Amino acid sequence: MPVVFDLYSYAGQLLFRVKDKQAHILDFSRKSYVKATPEEIVRQSLIKRLNQEFKIPLSRIRTEYELVVNRMTKRLDILIYDREGKPWMIIETKAPSVRLSQETIDQVVLYNNVIFAPWLMITNGSEAVIASVNFKTKKAIEVFEFPSL
């Protein structure tokens, strides 16, 4: 069951510029401008919130992390590392118009079969599903607030 996870107040802090007649947005973790799609605005608003509200340093946040799953190259949206440099959370972002679904949950679980992060999250900018993963029991437990790093 999704929880309210409003990122709209952070969208006002994003940095935009026009390049080739298209809006681009600064990716704070990569320090470069990328095309400003609705999903990217959610991703960058989330990065702002992770950094400002949850005090996660930008140096521990990686976007568009490439991995190989079943011999196919995939990119997960956000990977957060803990203080020891181990994967801590995988986050999949969707555009605000996209309803959070089992398909999105399955996507982040598939990525975690390679990454082994103890936390998973999906969000569309207004709501989120957050889960803690127990690797011994091979079960995920939904939680209703963002965990502490």
Spans of all domains in the chain: 3-10+38-143
pLDDT of 120 above 90: yes
Query: Taking the domain 3-10+38-143, which CATH number applies?
Result: 3.90.320.10
Helices (H), 24-133: 38-52, 102-115
SS3 66: strand
Instruction: Note the pLDDT tens digit of each residue in 18-70.
Output: 998 999 999 988 889 999 999 999 999 999 999 999 999 999 999 999 999 88
Amino acid making up residue 98 = V
| pLDDT tier, 75 (very low <50, low <70, confident <90, very high otherwise) | very high
Identify the pLDDT of residue 1: 67
Identify the pLDDT of residue 149: 78
Q: Strands 87-93, 119-123: parallel, antiparallel or unpaired by DSSP?
A: parallel
pLDDT of 71 above 80: yes
Task: Please state, for a pLDDT cut of 90, what percent of the chain lies above it.
Answer: 81
Task: Give the separation between CA 64 and CA 93, rounded to whole angstroms.
Answer: 11
The average pLDDT across 116-145 equals: 94
The average pLDDT across 78-90 equals: 97
Handedness of CA 16, 55, 97, 34 (dihedral sign): positive
SS3 11: helix
Task: Give the separation between CA 20 and CA 45, rounded to whole angstroms.
Answer: 23
Helices (H), the chain: 8-11, 38-52, 102-115
Task: Give the separation between CA 7 and CA 94, rounded to whole angstroms.
Answer: 12
SS3 110: helix
DSSP state of 70: T
Identify the pLDDT of residue 81: 97
- Which position has the higher pLDDT, 70 or 126? 126
Range in 6-10, 42-46, 87-91, 92-96 the model is least confident about = 6-10
